[in-house]
Amino acid sequence: MELAGALLFGALAPANAETTVATLVGHYSNQVWSDGDDPHALSGYFVSLYKQDGTLFGNIGIAIGSAEPAQAKVYDITLNEKDGKISFKADYSRGIEHRKGLPPEGRDAKRILTFSGKLKPRGLQGEFIEQDGYAPFSIVAREKSVLTGFAKDFS
């Protein structure tokens, strides 16, 4: 019981343990927004990448024609820092889909997005592949994109 209490209250943690702060790798975007009082994300992507203790992580916004882009965490990130090759995946929803063969109430429009390309000093360049989130995971779209990097620090 004492060990459980010690673990619960962190008594066994090293006295010199440090938590490193995540650093911003960059924000990258090619999103196009409508004009007017109620802007909508019409097309494109917004990617934010961070690094902490040698691990990359981040999120992505995917324009689906709504006031707010669909949001997702990126995962399976690989980066070759020598040549800038980068790849990642994200799972997201485009909302509810209705079509022949589906229940009348529709179903979640799950998508799997894969990016493969290059991380350059001023942006991301490569190809996004969007797949249906249901077996047989068919490819829905392919898009070559250039996302411009901006604002490495917002403070």
Query: Rounded to the nearest 5 degrees, what angle is found at the Cα of 58, between the Cα atoms of 56 and 62?
Result: 145
Q: What does the block give as tokens for 89?
A: 């995946």
pLDDT band at 17 (very low <50, low <70, confident <90, very high): low
Higher pLDDT pick, 141 / 7: 141
Q: According to the model, what pLDDT value does residue 99 have?
A: 84
Q: Give per-residue pLDDT as tens, 113-127.
A: 999 999 998 899 999
Q: According to the model, what pLDDT value does residue 117 have?
A: 98
Higher pLDDT pick, 114 / 17: 114
pLDDT band at 18 (very low <50, low <70, confident <90, very high): low
Question: What region does 44 belong to: left with phi over 0, alpha with psi -120 to 50, or beta?
Answer: left
The CATH architecture annotation of domain 20-150 reads Beta Barrel (2.40)
Q: b/e per residue, 24-44, with b = 16+ CB within 10 A?
A: ebbbbbbeeeeeeeeebbeeb
Query: How distant, in Å, are the alpha carbons of 62, 95, 112, 132 from that of 139?
Result: 17, 18, 9, 6
- Residue 52 amino acid letter: Q
Domain limits of the chain? 20-150
Listed ranges 34-38, 62-66, 94-98, 127-131; the one with the highest mean pLDDT: 127-131
User: What percent of the chain clears pLDDT 70, i.e. is strictly above it?
Assistant: 85
Task: Evaluate if residue 96 carries a pLDDT over 90.
Answer: no
Among residues 10, 30, 20, the alpha carbon closest in space to that of 124 is found at 30
Task: Evaluate if residue 38 carries a pLDDT over 50.
Answer: yes
Task: Evaluate if residue 155 carries a pLDDT over 50.
Answer: no
